[in-house]
Chain A
Amino acid sequence: MHLAHYLRLLHRSQNALAEAFREIRRGHPHEPDMYGVCECLAVQCGEQARRLEPFVRRYSAGACEEPERLHSALFSGTRPGGLGLLRDLHDLYLLATECEIAWSIVAQGAQGARDEELLEVVRHCGGDTAVQLLWLRTRMRHVAPQALVVAS
């Protein structure tokens, strides 16, 4: 049974996303409105990861060895400037997408495992991740024209 591996993947991705939200906030301290929202989303991601922990433990008991190359790093530090911010948000979007699809896969797994409790967590947290994606998309759409066409 590999559900534990996927739960671990999701758990790690959620924590990576939380850290990435904090890093982007620190890396762009002068960007308006990043402080509050990024901090709030970082907390949210951390909470989501914590809510997964009992299930990681639950399914780890019967898990086989973790396959190779399960994890990949999608975000490795912020870049300066307007274009840098756009690229950072873009990276975060990919990272959040990984979380989103992982929630969806875990939901299928939870259905297979007949785990109502896990399904409830996925329903709640998956919705939050969808809003995070929308926010990243909104933020990128707003800065893209200036960063791509105007700034030198």
Chain B
Amino acid sequence: MPDPIADPWGRRTPYGPPGGVERLAAALPGRLRDALPAELGLGSPWPVRVDTLLDDGLTEADADGWVQGVSFLHSGGDALDFAVRDGRLVGLRGRAADRINHGRLDPRETYGRPPGAGRGERARLTRPLVREGGELVETDWDTAMGRVVARSKELLDAPGGWGRFGFYTSGRLFLEEHYTLAVLARAGIGTPHLDGNTRVCAATAAAALKASFGADGQPGSFTDIDHCDTIALWGHNVAGTHTVLWERMLDRRHGPRPPVMIAVDPDDTPPAREADVHLAVRPGTNVALMNALLHELIANNRYDAAYVGNHTLGFAELCRVVEAYPAKRAADICAVPAGLIEQAAEILGSCERLVSSVLRGFYQSNQGTAAACQVNNLHLLRGMLGRPGAGVFQMAGQPSAHNARETGTGGDLPGMRNWENPEHVRDLGALWNVDPVWGPPTHALQIFRYAEQGSINLLWIAAADPAASLPHLDRVRRTLAGEDLFVVVQDLFLTETARLADVVLPAATWGEKLGTLTSADRTVHICEKAVEPPGDARPDLDIFLDYAHRMDFCDRDGAPLIRWHDPESAFEAWKACSKGRPCDYTGITYDRLRGGSGIQWPCTPSTPHGTERLYAGGLFATDPSECQTYGYDLATGAEWGTERYRAKDPRGRAFLHAADYRPSAEVTGEGYPLLFVTGRAVCLFPAPAPAPEPGDAAREPWVEVNSQDAAALGIGDGDLVRVESRHSALEAPARVRGTRPGVVFMPFDPGMARAADELTVTGWDPVSKQPIFNVAAVRVTKVSGVNAGAGGMAEDLGSLEGSERLEEV
């Protein structure tokens, strides 16, 4: 294994695209491919490279055994084996046979490893905690669960009791855990207040997929990288987020007939440097750029008229809107040369097999859903879907964000059902044998707002740390600490959120429990239990099952609502829920996931190999009886409703959604030339972290200013500066750093939280309800200079470059 710092993407294994015959073979359904001669290349031509990460001084022979698993690091789904020695986890090795990674590991697995052994071990929670006289004290499971159940029953007995519960999760749970929580919350308690921090990362991806194609689910397959002739990265720093996927792209770039690469990103990321065309757009202007690219395609007749005519709706309106965006106009708005936009349009208009990947540069920016939909539009205009080498990824940064979205803990109904469709709601009622009474799902920030206002009185937070990650941290913390809110936290460490809880439940992590996980290209993997959890820690599934049992949740006939008892029976229950839906798992079993490679949904008994690409043949999930949403206005999030949707008569055609560019409400200029951003890493690698020790927190707050900006303003390192927005002002010492020019960054600081909060507003995507981040246009002035010495503090704490941190805000 190479040194992860010096050589982050490992040794190159260049390869070229498969030939035309292999490409034709790859387009066939799995069972037909089985009948082909083996030399036609049943798998991908990407060479295997097995990476191994073992504890110092150990070799592969030292392991007592290897246990199959899958990475929890991000949504790539790298398959791996855990090395076990004396009941402890001592290393990882990539699985050569897996379709996702062909043996590779993300070098950061070193840091993202299950923290049961070695790193982080001492900080693990091993016993339940309850609050006694203001302090958290150790107790046993009976006492801790007894308190949760007593409070739950008390609340549930009052009128409107269902509305007094809120559940907040993360993409760190397994599919089985997500589904069990969805059933106990939606059918047991009967509440729609159920969401996760997938809202903060992936909500826009889901909203864009639903809006364009009728349902969530990534259309493409990672094997499209093998076949494509062009890769377009839309605000996605693949090198930083999906390392193994990036290696696959690099290997194609180093092999024969390499794909052309286009990167759209305000920052100078590794993909931006690798790309043939880098469009460094001004932040918040993605829609203008996309409209210009679509304008060029349409004006130069570089679209597939037959595909558009047969498989899409809304072309006339799209033409009307993008007509107003010639390259010159977009160049002015986005601050990129018009020639570069035309060059990108030329590539996108002439390629034959295009893969796109979209991430936070689009999602966590002004008009996120609208911009992401324009990438879908590009693929629809060119018919670039459902065949080898042609696919779009609306990516997620979280490991099991897709499971949250599929199973119904992420704001949608389980099985990607439509809450506005009475048939779908009745289906769930019949499946669970309960009376279906579900209203619109409540999104995460609304849940916290209800808790703040006092109408939610019990908030259950599983595997998430909102007190360290949500916008307006100061308010979030005050809410969690409030007297009237009973907070249950289920996690690995005493996180900042756990410190504010009434009951803390110690959870097991990956490698310590059994379950399945679905990657960004719909590949389902099994993750076996390799070692025992520390102390009394329990798998999240066991905790949810225990709660459901103690609460005595029943169906209409008085039988237990949740009739499963372990991961495999939970998986079987989920299969029944997924049956007939776009994410059909009915052909997958635990046995089929063991050994070999992961399997892509939809997978039914008649398509046991799974489905490599969705929407082959241009048939989309937009039929009113099938679709996951009846659609929304991209500018406001207004729901169109069933009548308007049916009137469009979609009949399996995809929607081309048009959107005019609208500048963000917080724009720089008029005396506020800089952008103030606050926060901390929240989204992409939600590796759980213990709260800082009290000593750690006793540090001075500071703001980071780019060195060029600082020079222009006459600000030196350590000077006291005043940061003023249109809303408020604060003063803090400056640190001159490599933050992006024009951006002032303030790391979260408890002492300054309220001041920073008041300075900013939270940007929102109106459709997906994904917070963009706390942002404000500001001006910075020097208040007073400071003597030397502040620099020493900066060196101690400034280990990360500001620009890196900014990416993860």
- Which of A's residues lie within 8 Å of B, judged by CB? 30-33, 35-37, 39-41, 81-82, 131-132, 134-135, 137-138, 141-142, 145-146, 149-152
Find residues 747-801 in chain B having any chain A CB closer than 8 Å to their own CB. Answer: 761-764, 766, 769
- Confirm or deny: B656 has a beta carbon within 8 angstroms of a beta carbon on chain A: no
> What is the size category of the interface that chain B forms with chain A?
35 or more
Please list the 9 inter-chain residue pairs (A to B) with the smallest Cβ-Cβ separation, ordered nearest first. Answer: A150-B163, A135-B638, A134-B638, A32-B445, A150-B160, A151-B455, A149-B160, A135-B636, A33-B764
- State the CA gap A135–B769 with chains docked (Å): 14
The reply to whether A37 and B637 contact each other, CB–CB distance below 8 Å, is yes
A39 — nearest CB in chain B belongs to which residue?
A: B665
- Confirm or deny: B617 has a beta carbon within 8 angstroms of a beta carbon on chain A: no
The reply to whether B635 and A131 contact each other, CB–CB distance below 8 Å, is yes
- Cβ contact of B439, chosen from A37, A39, A82, A145, cutoff 8 A: A145
The reply to whether A142 and B761 contact each other, CB–CB distance below 8 Å, is no
- Which of B's residues lie within 8 Å of A, judged by CB? 159-160, 162-164, 192, 439-440, 442-443, 445-446, 449-450, 452-455, 475, 632-633, 635-641, 662, 665, 761-764, 766, 769
Q: Which residues of B contact A149 (CB under 8 A)?
A: 159-160, 163
- State the CA gap A35–B443 with chains docked (Å): 16
- State the CA gap A41–B662 with chains docked (Å): 12
Q: How many A-B residue pairs have CB under 8 A?
A: 87
A sample of 23 inter-chain contacts (CB < 8 A) reads A30-B449, A32-B445, A32-B446, A32-B764, A33-B445, A33-B764, A33-B766, A36-B764, A36-B766, A37-B637, A40-B636, A132-B636, A134-B636, A134-B638, A135-B637, A135-B638, A137-B638, A142-B439, A142-B446, A145-B163, A146-B442, A150-B160, A152-B455
The reply to whether A150 and B633 contact each other, CB–CB distance below 8 Å, is no
The reply to whether A35 and B453 contact each other, CB–CB distance below 8 Å, is no
- State the CA gap A81–B553 with chains docked (Å): 33
Task: Name A's interface SS.
Answer: helix
- Cβ contact of A82, chosen from B455, B633, B640, cutoff 8 A: B455
B159 — nearest CB in chain A belongs to which residue?
A: A149
The reply to whether B636 and A37 contact each other, CB–CB distance below 8 Å, is yes
- State the CA gap A126–B640 with chains docked (Å): 16
Task: Name B's interface SS.
Answer: loop
B192 — nearest CB in chain A belongs to which residue?
A: A145
- State the CA gap A81–B454 with chains docked (Å): 10
Q: Which residues of A contact B637 (CB under 8 A)?
A: 33, 37, 135, 138
B635 — nearest CB in chain A belongs to which residue?
A: A40
Other than A132-B638, A135-B633, A151-B453, give 12 A-B pairs with Cβ distance below 8 A: A33-B445, A33-B769, A36-B763, A131-B633, A131-B636, A132-B636, A134-B641, A138-B638, A141-B439, A145-B192, A146-B450, A150-B450
Given contacts A36-B665, A134-B639, A149-B159, contact A31 B440 (CB under 8 A): no
A143 — nearest CB in chain B belongs to which residue?
A: B446
- Cβ contact of B163, chosen from A40, A81, A141, A146, cutoff 8 A: A146
The reply to whether B638 and A150 contact each other, CB–CB distance below 8 Å, is no
The reply to whether A150 and B636 contact each other, CB–CB distance below 8 Å, is no
- State the CA gap A59–B322 with chains docked (Å): 35
- State the CA gap A85–B452 with chains docked (Å): 15
Q: Which residues of B contact A30 (CB under 8 A)?
A: 449, 452, 475
Q: Which residues of B contact A41 (CB under 8 A)?
A: 636
Q: Which residues of B contact A32 (CB under 8 A)?
A: 443, 445-446, 449, 762, 764, 769
- State the CA gap A149–B437 with chains docked (Å): 14
- State the CA gap A152–B637 with chains docked (Å): 28
- Cβ contact of B164, chosen from A40, A81, A131, A150, cutoff 8 A: A150
| Distance to closest chain B CB from A89 (angstroms) | 13
